[in-house]
Structure 1
Amino acid sequence: MNIIACIKQVPDTNEVRIDQKTGTLIREGVPSIINPDDKNALEEALRLKDKYEDAKVTVLTMGPPQAEVALKEALAMGADEAILLSDRAFAGADTWATSTTLAGAIKRLGNFDIIFCGRQAIDGDTAQVGPQIAERLDLPQITYVEDLEIDGNTAIAHRAVEDGHYIVKTEMPVVLTAIGELNEPRYPSIKGIYEAFREKEIKVWSLDDIIVDTSQIGLKGSPTQVKRSFTPATKSAGEMLEGSTQDKVRDLIVRLKERQII
């Protein structure tokens, strides 16, 4: 079984600041992490590897050279191979251009059974890249996967919806997008960390290594236009009411009337 896990290195959103003049994220000095949903996708790929002796997990990401850090962590967790798509031609990509580039790399890899992606990235929250990869590769897809079972050549997934889940079955190869409820990602082992940083190499692919329509990648191939970026306004501090339950209810009613809420 050949499994591809697509991950993304994202800024830790607890530390994100926005340049008010340009409307872009200030990334200097901001710690980066593996996108949380992508980590669940990677963990599920590794669980399948633990279950099936012939399984191989390849981790794929697109980004600048520093994205190697995320790939090293993935290797330390147990992935077999890591590929970084890095080229100035890929820069400035929206989801459309990103999925085009990733699909081009996946086509070169070939011979895969499952492609795992996270539901969405915390720096964009679009939930588009996984489904777009499936469309570009003409593959079935199951999104919002909260439970997974493999039966022969069939993937059986619980797809989360607002008030429950659907059970969806499809033949492989398939694209699956993971949510946090799917599993609890493992920590890298000491041995895994040693092997990732001392023994395993990360392959770096440029535009020359994949076949894509260059008009559909990078900034020029991105139809999305961001008009404005901003941080939410800070809310005023709350007020704790003291006294008995009766006193609290009376004070609450007085305050609501003062604000003309009731």
Structure 2
Amino acid sequence: MLVDTGSCDAFGTACSHRRPRNSCVDCKVRPISVCSVLALDELAVLETLGQHLSLDKRQVLYGQEEPAEAVFNVIDGSLRLTRLLSDGRRQVMGFALPGDFLGLAREDRFSVSAEALTPVTVCRFERRAFGALVDDKPHLLRSLHERAGHELTLAQDQMLLLGRRTAEERVASFLVGLRERYARMGRASVTLELPMGRQDMADYLGLTIETVSRMLTRLDRERTVLIVPGGVRLLDPARLEALAAS
């Protein structure tokens, strides 16, 4: 379907004022995604490479060890990134939100699985075609390097979180980090949506589900947060930040 963004001739013939409804120019996550560095003519090229995919809740975008034949830009919704260990245990590696770019690693196969926690929309790019575009656009390559550097910093923070923080500090750090990610998306609010379940949080934070539930209940009892359907409301953000920075 086309969106008319300007007047055309009386016969309704196509004109340069028309563009696809889901064009890269109109993409709501473009300002926070790696493609934000591209000019309008470059976005037009990118658009020819992309394909929008929709996932239902619990549907898998790609599985661990599947051939890494594509990269994905998350447009809407959230996904859980997990790795299955050799002993059968599951480790949650992270959560993808709008604006995140998945599949950037150079391995031939995906090292994690990506499963939709909510209805999800992604833009899919065939890996070779996207790689050719990156090779031709040094500023896009720099943007990807910056994103990779940011993800490396997050991984280092996660190692510190698992190795040195108390259970309460881990939960507080998770909530503060999620609030910062939502704010970057333009969704600053005192209420944090938690699309992931308690077990997901536990597997990500290296805790048991009972411990996560107990820590959230403690924060609620101490009036730091208020547990609400689908998330938590931040009643004392300053105290939560202090716990996260401990």
* TM-score normalised to structure 2 length: 0.28
Structure with the higher fraction of residues in helix conformation: 2
> Which is greater in Rg?
1
- Structure with bigger RCO (C-alpha 8 Å, 6+ apart): 1
* TM-score normalised to structure 1 length: 0.27
